[in-house]
Chains A and B, each alone.
Chain A
Amino acid sequence: MTAHLLPSVPLNTQPNIEAPDDFYQELVDMHRDLSKEQSALVNAKLILLLANHVGELAVLREAMRAARQDIAPEGQADVAHEADLK
């Protein structure tokens, strides 16, 4: 078996961030003075930048799954704009 056929490297969930307290403070500070909508936009940009850095779809999928964990959907589904055709 060649290297690229081996299972992909799983999402690293072990402590890996340099200076975690510094990072956390800068993450929160990044949103200072921003409206709720602007914050959502900055977060989305940050996710896309980091996702591109990671690159590997299997790792990104695993991260998305982990992010969604423990969050139960509430309210109506967001596909209300579409209608099933039969």
Chain B
Amino acid sequence: MVLDEDNTVSVGSRAICWAKRTLEILDRLGCGDRIVGKGVEWNVGRVFFRDEQIYQFDLQPEAGHRRPAFINLQQYWVEQFLVERCAGLPQAELRWQNKVVGVTPRADRVAIRVAAPNGEYTVHADWLIVADGARSPLRDMLGLESEGLAFRDRFLIADVLMHSDFPSERWFWFDPPFHRHQSALLHRQADNVWRIDFQLGPDADPEEEKKPEKIMPRLRAMLGDKTEFEIEWASVYTFQCRRMRSFRHGRALFVGDAAHLVSPFGARGANSGIQDVDNLIWKLELVMAGQAPESLLDSYNTERAFAADENIRHSTRSTDFITPKSEASRAFRDAALLLAKHYPFARRLVNSGRLSLPTTLETSALSTPDRAGEAFASVVPLGGAAVDAPVQGSRGVWLLSYLEAGFTLLVFDTSVPADALEALANDADPCNVVQVGGKPAAGVSRIEDSEGLVAARYDGRAGTCYLLRPDQHLCARWRSFELSSVRAAIARATGEACVEAMEAA
């Protein structure tokens, strides 16, 4: 059951950049095509300093992926498609204008007091997922805090409706002639709406800056006299980088901005929120089905807190580069920008936002370390999210479509014995085996590595096995198949191994 105090999807565009990983998750949820179809695809970013471009970058320079590096789409469209998808699920119920006004955590359930248009009522839930945003009223009701840094610089964001020849790229200006001593960002969204960000500095008056008569001259200076445009939505805001100490409090699980907050440079807010939920849901499902111990949910906290720290680190560094806090910091910032025009090394120092990539859960206790002596020159490290590649098979032409049901074992150029296949399929936490290449065998789901890119990206050789979790993160790999190793790795990834180790101790 989903409770929303509002009676509509988001007002204003809010999050607009949806990263490849998010699109792949949305594919699994059954709304990837609609969202990508409506969105504006982009891979190229340009960086300008004063009156000239200093360099450009391509976030997805190689082919052979179903989804682009990013699409831009107003958050209200993404919410709309998700709401419609939710309506098609018989077991899901979305209650609009139902506001949580009280919450009482208990050992075995959570009592939630809800105010609805026709009165108040109480829901007794087994689990509560708190996704009520940056200010999170539920976090306050539970007496919990989120700690970190607030940045003083104010920013104006405006959605502008215009017909323009600007390409579908990310354009970022440091100290441009139309907005001296500050930064600006231009991004295209769907329906000819453009997102424009202006850094305003720490002393700007938010109420004053929000007025159209204040915004119009800024836009006019940037877009020129000939461009016709109108303002669809505008907001003035400051950034914060903060997170809760723990994302799990008993039966309350915090996700997204309620759990952690970053500055917008890098598109790490909404994208990390969706990864939170993707990390949480398969674990919650196993726990609720009695197939995993409750302690598995603690790994949601450790894995996603690790991701939040990574996102906060990137986001804080970007903010420090964009809004230098001292003379020395500004000198190094300008020095890097001046050098970047001539020298590639300096482009690596320029930070207008390190754009969202899926977090590699490198320290996760759910991962099984590689066997001694086995090495993998793979683009997917242990704990990393699976990378797509073109294939041929019964479920379509992309590898990720074959990693959609629970745990999946990818086996290269070798057939797993029939009795082992059956054993894995019938285990309490079953595992689906997908054979990449090799001879067809009875009862085996097999795909063809049509362009050789699966083997190339995963360093797959005959016998190589990759075990992927339900969220498509890699949790174990071997150079040869062994039933007991696969079972032990699944036990570890579902939290069973930790319990056994604790009981043995």
Contact = CB atoms under 8 A, between A and B. Distances in A.
Nearest to A82: B149
B134 to A, nearest CB: 12
Contacts of B153: 81
A78 B332 contact: no
Contact of B326 (A37, A43, A78): A78
Contacts of A49: 339, 343
A37 B150 CA distance: 29
Contacts of A3: none
A85 B147 contact: yes
Given A44-B332, A78-B326, A85 B242 contact: yes
Contact of A40 (B150, B327, B346): B327
B325 interface: yes
A40 B331 CA distance: 6
B90 to A, nearest CB: 43
Interface string A19-51: 000000000000000000100110111011100
Nearest to A84: B149
Interface in B315-359: 323, 325-329, 331-332, 334-336, 338-339, 343, 345-346, 349
Interface residues of A, number: 19
A52 interface: yes
Chain B interface size band reads 20 to 34
Interface string B148-166: 1111110000000000000
Contact of B325 (A40, A45, A52, A82): A82
Contacts of A9: none
Nearest to A39: B331
B149 A85 contact: yes
B202 interface: yes
B147 A86 contact: yes
Nearest to A52: B345
Contacts of B332: 44, 47-48
A67 interface: no
Contacts of B149: 82-85
A41 B334 contact: yes
B181 to A, nearest CB: 13
A82 B339 contact: no
Nearest to A49: B339
Contacts of A48: 332, 335-336, 339, 346, 349
B145 interface: yes
A82 B331 contact: no
Contacts of A45: 335, 338-339
Interface string A57-76: 00000000000000000000
Interface of B: 145-153, 202, 240, 242, 323, 325-329, 331-332, 334-336, 338-339, 343, 345-346, 349
Interface of A: 37, 40-41, 43-45, 47-49, 52, 78-86
23 contacts: A37-B331, A40-B327, A40-B328, A41-B334, A41-B335, A41-B338, A43-B331, A44-B334, A44-B335, A45-B339, A47-B332, A48-B339, A48-B349, A78-B325, A78-B326, A80-B325, A82-B151, A84-B149, A85-B148, A85-B149, A85-B150, A85-B240, A85-B242
